[in-house]
Amino acid sequence: MSFEITVAKRLGEIDVALEMVAGDGATVLFGPSGVGKTSVLNMVAGLLRPDRGRIVVGGEMLFGTGVDVPIERRRAGYVFQEARLFPHQCVRANLTYGAAAGVDVTTVTGFLGIDDLLDRWPRSLSGGEARRVAIGRALLSDPAFLLLDEPLSSLDRARREEVMRGIEHIRDVLTLPILMVTHDPEEAERIGTRIVTMAR
């Protein structure tokens, strides 16, 4: 599945622009904070409308001349920089919220290593555990592709490794296309099938 993204957006004093074509695997948008990497993810997801351009994923135009596919029809699994779990629901309920019919929950919880977390509450999770639960929730919606916004930020080395292995499994075993944002060169090199550098 390919990502074809040519977008431009004015955000206050910042001009966000990107032109790229990328195939299967994991495409990493790499660059310093403030260059618009997250804004690009939001445009692909449909949360932010470009001023102009086109977004085509897997041959389907999501945004372009006369086309702006609604968020719920884009089939994007989005994992935000913060886990954004529902605090009043246990991990099991967080995972199954919005889960697609027929998706195997135990397969997802197994490779993410979160089987033993299902009855816990979000406030009791470490940063790495919460991030893996957020990834699991995105996968259970049966997305066509996955958007990851700084999924390893603010984690210690051990937790980063846990989440990194989960992302590698998604890339290599599930072969789900990934568009990921990071400012960390080590993460970009390890995860990225290709790296797209964004600069001011």
Tens digit of each residue's pLDDT, the chain (200 residues)? 789 999 999 988 778 989 998 878 999 999 998 899 999 999 999 999 999 999 999 899 999 999 999 999 999 999 999 999 999 999 999 999 989 988 889 999 999 999 999 999 999 999 999 999 999 999 999 999 999 999 998 888 888 999 999 999 999 999 999 999 999 999 999 999 999 999 87
Nearest Cα to 151, choosing from 120, 199, 136?
Answer: 136
d(CA 149, CA 160) in angstroms, rounded, equals: 14
Strand-pair category, 76-79 with 145-149: parallel
* pLDDT on residue 199: 84
- Find all residues with CB under 8 Å of 126, minimum gap 6, and list them: 159
* pLDDT on residue 3: 93
User: What is the model's pTM?
Assistant: 0.93
* pLDDT on residue 102: 86
* pLDDT on residue 2: 85
Contacts 24+ apart (CB under 8 A), 101-105: 102/142, 103/139, 103/140, 103/141, 103/142, 105/140
At the top level of CATH, which class does the domain 3-197 belong to? alpha beta
* pLDDT on residue 36: 93
* pLDDT on residue 78: 97
* pLDDT on residue 93: 96
d(CA 12, CA 200) in angstroms, rounded, equals: 14
Residue 98 — φ and ψ, nearest 5°? 75, 10
For the chain, give every domain's residue range. Answer: 3-197
Nearest Cα to 170, choosing from 154, 153, 193?
Answer: 193
